[in-house]
Amino acid sequence: YGFCGHSTHIASPTYDIVMEMEYLDMVFNETLRLYPVTGRLHRMCKKDIELDGVFIPKGSMVMIPLYPLQHDPQHWPEPEEFRPERFSKENKCRTGHYVYLPFGNGPRNCLGMRFALMSMKLAVTKVLQNFSFHPCKETQIPLKLSKQVILKPEKPIVLKVVPRDGVINGV
């Protein structure tokens, strides 16, 4: 089991190796689409505006509901299915810029987005180099979410963790 053609026993994943992992990017994008960290974004309306016949006065707080937006079958065919290929280079252009917003968009998107994504990719790569994960009888499948401000599973995620080849590298 290798990452991007590299042995799973390399000392540590590097920035360059992680940047080559296109499928890992697709998996993270699809995961953040299915399970956004927050359920909504808030923006302050800077001027009076009318959208589709609805008047929004300057100073109003506008809420963007991420979970429903990123699960809308109008934009995401089979929205509850985990399909990383939605974010392949070939398919990315089929989705509008404003229907996938895990970190917001435009000049007010999350400042820590690149750092967060790279940190998660490096951590996941390192963990998967050394361990495999398997569902247990206690594992809730399919995963059910408690829909609050921050999405979280209704029940704890229980997995069996198995070291790969009995060797743990640089953890």
Strands 159-163 and 131-135: antiparallel
**pLDDT score at 6:** 47
Tell me the pLDDT tens digit for each residue of 57-67: 999 999 999 99
**With helix as H, strand as E and coil as C, how does 67-124 read?**
HHHCCCCCCCCCCCCCCHHHHCHHHHCCCCCCCCCECECHHHCCCCHHHHHHHHHHHH
Tell me the pLDDT tens digit for each residue of 26-59: 999 999 999 888 888 899 999 999 999 999 999 9
**pLDDT score at 73:** 95
Tell me the pLDDT tens digit for each residue of 69-118: 999 999 999 999 999 999 999 887 777 778 999 998 888 888 999 999 99
**pLDDT score at 1:** 37
Helices 113-130 and 22-34, axial angle in degrees (round to 10): 110
Q: Which residues contact 109 (CB under 8 A, 6 or more apart)?
A: 103
* Phi and psi at residue 103, to the nearest 5°: -120, 20
Q: In angstroms, how far is the first alpha carbon of the chain from the final one?
A: 18
The model's pTM is 0.81
Token pair of 130, please? 């050394």
Tell me the pLDDT tens digit for each residue of 108-164: 888 999 999 999 999 999 999 899 999 999 999 988 888 777 778 889 999 999 998
Contact between residue 88 and residue 94 where contact means Cβ atoms under 8 Å apart: no
Q: Which residues contact 80 (CB under 8 A, 6 or more apart)?
A: 34, 71
